[in-house]
């Protein structure tokens, strides 16, 4: 069984941005900084893209001016993480985040839509978002037609994790205490 003892160089968010500024990455490169490591994002398939578009449209209508819906934009977490979540619900800010990327405390909710990245999103990213202070996190599990809801943030960990299947609903503090159905999140209905 091979064991990886090779040391890895860990990057900071500032170093990651400098790499982009000098042309190591282009704006079209699909990479994100996860726990100090540069990770290539999986290609976006049609089902994933459709779900993100429907979520974005639904949340924009649902929240109006209450919060900012940010689709596939960076979220700075500490000094070694800048993921690009599919959806982030952000607290309104006077500059509209034109001065700097939002941070974990700016986010009310982060949503990742997962086809092939379910385990990574459930394990690695959930720990990263919890450590960054994001109070609520959802993983939309397209292969299983369910939504994993991570909530009750305590000591940089989510203490309440539950999967919701078709026909089930939950109350979302990030959405102002509204009741949410799995069908709404999966884009099956927009009632």
> Domains of the chain: which residue ranges?
44-186
Average pLDDT over residues 37-43: 85
Residue 68: band (very low, low, confident or very high) from pLDDT cuts 50, 70, 90: very high
Identify the sign of the CA torsion 51, 54, 57, 61.
negative
Tell me what the pLDDT averaged over the chain comes to: 92
Query: For residue range 75-102, what is the model confidence (pLDDT) as tens digits?
Result: 999 888 999 999 999 999 999 899 999 9
Looking at the domain that runs over 44-186, which CATH code has it been given? 3.90.1570.10
Res 89: pLDDT = 98
Q: How far is CA 6 from CA 3, 11, 90, in A?
A: 9, 16, 38
The DSSP code sequence of 112-178 is EEESS-HHHIIIIIHHHHHHTT-S-EEEEETTTTEEEEEEEEETTEEEEEEEE-TT-EEEEGGGTTE
């Amino acid at each position: 069984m091979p064991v990886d003892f090779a040391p890895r160089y860990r990057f900071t968010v500032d170093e990651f941005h400098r790499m982009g500024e000098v042309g190591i990455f282009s704006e079209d490169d699909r990479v994100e900084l996860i726990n100090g490591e540069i990770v290539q994002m999986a290609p976006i398939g049609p089902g994933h893209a459709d779900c993100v578009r429907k979520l974005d449209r639904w949340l924009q209508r649902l929240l109006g001016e209450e919060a900012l819906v940010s689709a596939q934009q960076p979220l700075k977490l500490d000094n070694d993480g800048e993921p690009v979540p599919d959806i982030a619900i952000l607290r309104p800010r006077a500059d509209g985040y034109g001065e700097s990327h939002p941070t974990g405390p700016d986010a009310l909710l982060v949503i990742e839509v997962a086809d092939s990245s379910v385990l990574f999103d459930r394990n690695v990213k959930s720990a990263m978002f919890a450590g960054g202070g994001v109070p609520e996190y959802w993983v939309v599990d397209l292969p299983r037609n369910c939504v994993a809801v991570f909530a009750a943030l305590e000591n940089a960990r989510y203490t309440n994790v539950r999967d919701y299947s078709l026909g089930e609903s939950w109350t979302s503090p990030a959405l102002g205490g509204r009741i949410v159905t799995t069908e709404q999140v999966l884009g099956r209905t927009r009632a």
